[in-house]
Amino acid sequence: MSNAVPTTDFERLALAITAFANMTSEEFTLSAPYWVQRSYRKGDFYNEHRSVCKHLGFVLNGAFRSYIIDEKTADEKNVFLYSGNQFVVSFKSFIRQIPCDYHTQAMTDATILSIGFFDLMSLYQKSHAWERFGRLLAQEAFNVAMERTESFLFKSPEERYLDLVNQHPDIFNTVPLYHISSYLGIQGPSLSRIRKRISGK
């Protein structure tokens, strides 16, 4: 694990956060002392079930998944995916500092920039811009959870697949297809048929 943050990585983070929260570069710079670069090997846990999530991460490269384990079948079921230029966090656990309901794990070698809970809370106190960031982050987490739930209620597997392509365009190049199938709630052969059908259009 390295604490040194290359300038280009920090600039990527700054660009993403200032655009997301309509924040000035000066307001973003308040956070500069708090970001730490962390590296994960494939299979490493970002946060484990029943552990409190203590960091908000910004994915520089690689991909993560959040998953639950079915108590009856012991199957792992992917519920959220995170890839480049996205935030990775077990949001309810992080914001309330309570044990998490699921595992979050690196599906590939990955690198993130992370900020600790108490450092982020300190920024909320110091800056209205960072307080706004916190509200927007909460809204985004809520929207992602709602869209995920509603996709299984109202969308076909093919529509869920197309959403995944839009949200994580590079993930098919780096992640095994069984992880994709699990996330979409379908079996491997069904995923193959969908990909073949779409590529033929």
Mean pLDDT of 174-179: 93
The pLDDT of residue 6 is above 70: no
Q: Could you give the number of structural domains in the chain?
A: 2
Nearest-5° Cα angle at 66, 110 to 16: 55
Nearest CA to 144 out of 187, 97, 89 is that of: 89
The pLDDT of residue 1 is above 80: no
Bigger pLDDT: 72 vs 111: 111
Domain assignment of residue 188, yes or no: yes
pLDDT band at residue 4 using 50, 70 and 90 as cut-offs: low
Which amino acid type is present at position 159?
Answer: E
| pLDDT for position 200 | 73
Same domain, 54 and 70: yes
Q: Which range of residues forms the domain containing residue 182?
A: 155-201
Strand order in the sheet with 87-88: 36-40, 110-116, 55-61, 87-88
Give per-residue pLDDT as tens, 95-142: 999 999 999 999 999 999 999 999 999 999 999 999 999 999 999 999
Same domain, 12 and 109: yes
| pLDDT for position 3 | 55
Domain assignment of residue 146, yes or no: yes
Same domain, 61 and 112: yes
Question: pTM value?
Answer: 0.92
Same domain, 34 and 123: yes
Same domain, 127 and 187: no
Same domain, 124 and 50: yes
- Residues of 71-107 as b/e, b for ≥16 C-beta within 10 angstroms? eeeeebebbbbbbbebbbbbbebbbeeeebebbbbbb
As a whole number, the mean pLDDT across the chain is 94
Same domain, 184 and 97: no
For position 43, which CATH number holds?
2.60.120.10
Give per-residue pLDDT as tens, 151-170: 999 999 999 999 999 999 88
Same domain, 194 and 117: no
Residue 55's CB: how many other CB atoms inside 10 A? 20
